[in-house]
Amino acid sequence: MQQSDARPSRFAALTGPLSTLLSNQAVSLFFILLLLWLVLGAMSPVFFTVNNILQITLQGAVVALVAAGMTFVILSGGIDLSVGSIFAFSAMVTGIAMQSEFGLFGSIAAGLLAGTAVGFLNGFGVARLGLPAFIVTLGMMSIARGGALLLNNGTPIFGLVDGFNIIGQGRIADVIPVPTIIVLVVYLICWFVLRYTPFGRFTYAIGSNPEAARLAGVRVSLQVIGIYMLSGLLTAVAAMVEASRLNSTQPAGGDGLELNAIGAVVIGGTSLFGGEGSIFASLIGALIIATIRNGLTILGISAFWQNVATGAIIILAVYLDRLRRNRQGS
């Protein structure tokens, strides 16, 4: 009898840490990402190489950067449909500044400020005017896109200043892409903010229960404005990376970026109801989207199927989140 009692306890001692580890959303998603790499590697010998894996991180850098800001927005219970247009507007402001001889750093600062300013307008509309985030950011999606087109009469700007190309085309030790390093630094900062600062704790609190957060002394309006400003800023950073890669700024850039950014966050397990999620899981979600696109391209599958696959995964992720919430509520 004692022997039979010892077996479950010994089994529990072994499986306990493993189940705890797998219950972490970022860890479980990482295993899914590895499995996806192994499957695609088995289907194509070209896929599972160091160069291609680094290429995936490079291809996913823009979505990952926007998804970092989107994570804060969705954690707070909001949504930002304007990121694609903010992306184009920030890039065009940077290009115009370069044409106006603002210099490298002045032009980058102008682009980052432009993205942050649009984010402020989004946050002001949601927090101060009391409008739904969906409506505010949907309207801003059209306004910012129109601004991007008006800045240079709908024409791309080519031939950016010297040194700007390092942001998107440079490599550390001729191996690791600079955008990959930028993404890692941004996510480490965001992780620290969410975990160890009042700004991060208040973001979770507002997403869980904004009224309770307000009664607890959180200045909800200022926090929401700050969250949308952060989203605009990180979207502008993504625009700098993409403009540097292309050595041009495109008024039509960022089309559909909001779908991929929201998809990365949702695939990462951040609840669309707010208050629950992981920043590193959003990063892995962005890598999963980049992996699918890269893998389908290598396998010679039509690019049209990439959008189909991304949309299907987003719907599946939301459905699984709903099932999980129903299970927790029962």
The CA radius of gyration of the chain, in Å to the nearest whole number, is 21
Residue 130 tokens, joined: 């009391």
CA 67/CA 61 separation, integer angstroms = 10
5-17 tens-digit pLDDT:
444 454 444 455 5
Phi, psi torsion values for 158, nearest 5 degrees: -110, 170
CA geometry: angle at 325 spanning 320 and 330, to 5°? 125
Residue where the block lists tokens 């160069």: 51
179-232 tens-digit pLDDT:
999 999 999 999 999 999 999 999 999 999 999 999 999 999 999 999 999 999
Q: Domain spans of the chain?
A: 29-34+45-329
Fold of 29-34+45-329: ABC transporter involved in vitamin B12 uptake, BtuC (1.10.3470)
270-320 tens-digit pLDDT:
888 888 888 999 999 999 989 988 888 888 887 778 778 777 877 877 777
157-184 tens-digit pLDDT:
998 998 999 999 999 988 899 999 999 9
Q: Is residue 251 a contact partner of residue 158, using CB atoms and an 8 Å limit?
A: no
CB atoms within 10 A of CB 248: 16
DSSP 3-state of 217: coil
Query: Could you tell me the pTM of the whole model?
Result: 0.88
Q: Is residue 272 a contact partner of residue 192, using CB atoms and an 8 Å limit?
A: no
